[in-house]
Structures are given as C-alpha cells and as structure tokens.
Amino acid sequence: MRVIWLQAAGCGGCTMSLLCAEDPNVLDLLAGAGITLAWHPALSVETGAEARAILERAASGEEVLDVLCVEGSVTRGPKGTGRYHILSGTGQPMLRWITALAARARHVVAVGSCAAYGGVTSAGGNPSDAVGLQYEGAHLGGALPASFRSGSGLPVINVAGCPTHPDWVTETLLMLAAGTLGADSLDGYARPRFYADHLVHHACPKNEFYEYKASARNLSEIGCMMEHLGCVGTQAVGDCNIRPWNGNGSCTRGGYPCINCTAPEFEEPRHAFTETPKIAGIPVGLPSDMPKAWFMALASLSKAATPDRIGRNATADRIRVPPTLRKPKP
C-alpha cells in the first residue's frame, strides 16, 4: 500500500507524535504490513525534482496512490486561490496539490485536528482561511466538498487529535491495508470508532476523585479537574488513558485538564482552557449522556459521602493520607 504524506499549514506535531510509536517503531511497523511511504517531506530521502516527480506521477494516475495523508490545515486564502501556501519548488498551492491527489487516492486520511477540522491554525480571525480537508470546524465542506468520496467510497477519514496519538494513525493505516475499515467504522465526525467510541475519562487516574466530586483547585493538585480547572474528559472522545502516549503519558495523567482536542472547534472554547465555565456554580459542560438534574443529585450525594482521605488528598500535590489498613477478620 503506497502512502503519500503532505504537511500543510500546521506545526508538524503529528509527525513528531508518529515517530514516538514504539514496539515496534513506526517504520518497522508499516514495512511489516506492506505499507510504503512513497513520500513524506520529513522522512523521505527524495527531495527537489525527485519529490516533484513522485507527486506528479501520482496526480496524473501514472502511479497508484493508495492513501493520501495530509497533516495540517489547508489554507484557501487569499480569495480562494490557496497561494498563501505554495508547495516549495512546484509553484503550485498546496490546496491544488491536495485536490489533485485526493481525486486519485483510494483513501484520504486527515492526520490531526488541523487537517480534520481546521484546528489551531484556523483560530482567531483566521486570515489565511484555514480549513480541514472535508470540514470547516464542525460543518461539512472544507478544502474538499461535503460530497467528496475517495476511490474506496469513503469520506475523508479524520484521525483527529492535537497531536494525534501515533497508534491512532498506524492502526488506521493497518486497517486500510487489511480492508477492514468501512463506513460503519467511522463516527459522526468521520473519526475512527476504535478510539472515538471511548471517552478520555475511561481509565483516567483521577476517577476516584471524580466519583466523590473531590476537586482540585490548582493545577499542581491531584484531585478531579472537572469542577474548577476546565477538564472535559467526561465529554471528549479518545482512548488516551487506555493506551497512553509512550506507554504511560496523557494530559490528565500529567496533571493537565483534557481540552477535547479530538473535537471540531476545540481551539476556541470561549473560556480559558484551565477554567470551568459555570452558571450559578454549576459547570456548563456536563458528562456525556447525563441529564443535569441527575448530575446535581449525584454530585450532592457524592460530596456528602466523600471520605476524609479523598477530600484531603484532592487539594494536595501528592498523596498525604494513605488508605486505611484493613486487618483480616479472625
């Protein structure tokens, strides 16, 4: 399976994340599955005329293009020309290259939330008119039309995340190579369901504090960050705490709130990332699928039942009160 990977308007963080794939490393993993990186701007040895020739052969149909991966948002400015971003050495906008290659590709994959929905590059006034491949924020229709389907009949596959998890990228490519990723494998925002059917809340190490609504008030504290510090892990899709980065890392494991980076328009929440917006003291964003009345009743009961150990540890920077030792009954 031949893959061409383009880096559009972004920071390159998804490639950096991909290189952290381990056991095996990403290059051995892809090679073992028969997946070839026909060209990647950072990982391939071809450059200059050689790289242009690879792209031109794929765009003309002279060579098969199984998967087009795009990292970073696509800039359409100024005035829809795309000329804010010229692919170096070609004289042509990245927008034009993506459109031409997508028309030839059997599958098109947006790597990261910028490529999927516009992401951080589209925040603020968005003077470059940055969009995702098939979405502009939460709305269909980006660099490619809403009706776009690749040669396989699938829409753009949005491996969203900022950066996206290396395993999300490799598992998507492996499933495409095996022919096991179909339309029913994607959620409502075209994200692969193998990770999008999970919540970041699943397996979060702060879950005991969440159960009792024992909340941290400062980033250095180990309590639940939902009530005061803006964490939306109970609403955000991703298996970040089930298969953490590098075997043991995630945002919440590192003491930082989940900011829902796999979702469209996460980059502009209209409040500080580390603050929980509230109305009358009640968090605006409640856990997925939970009615407000039930949440309030549960929260009140949980707070009333909070063990002293959990309440005191929640606002500490480490475990201050260990669990009570239980002696076996005679």
Which residue has tokens 């005991």? 208
DSSP-based three-state secondary structure for 7 = strand
For the domain 200-317, what is the CATH superfamily, name and number?
A: Cytochrome-c3 hydrogenase, C-terminal domain (4.10.480.10)
CATH number of 2-196: 3.40.50.700
So where are the chain's domains? 2-196, 200-317
Band (187; pLDDT cuts 50, 70, 90): very high
How far is Cα 116 from Cα 92, in angstroms, rounded to an integer? 22
Please, what is the average pLDDT of the chain?
94
Burial class (CB in 10 A: 0-12, 13-18, 19+), 229: buried
Burial class (CB in 10 A: 0-12, 13-18, 19+), 28: exposed
Per-residue pLDDT tens digits for 111-150: 999 999 999 999 999 999 999 999 999 999 999 999 999 9
Quick one: pLDDT at residue 189?
A: 98
Quick one: pLDDT at residue 12?
A: 95
Quick one: pLDDT at residue 22?
A: 77
| Type and span of the H or E element at 283 | strand 282-283
Per-residue pLDDT tens digits for 196-252: 999 999 999 999 999 999 999 999 999 999 999 999 999 999 999 999 988 889 999
pLDDT of 176 strictly over 90:
yes
Quick one: pLDDT at residue 64?
A: 96
CA dihedral sign, ordered 28, 30, 31, 32: positive
pLDDT of 280 strictly over 80:
no
Band (330; pLDDT cuts 50, 70, 90): confident
How many secondary structure helices (H) and strands (E) does the chain include? Answer: 10, 11
Quick one: pLDDT at residue 292?
A: 77
**Which pTM value belongs to this model?**
0.94
How far is Cα 59 from Cα 105, in angstroms, rounded to an integer? 9
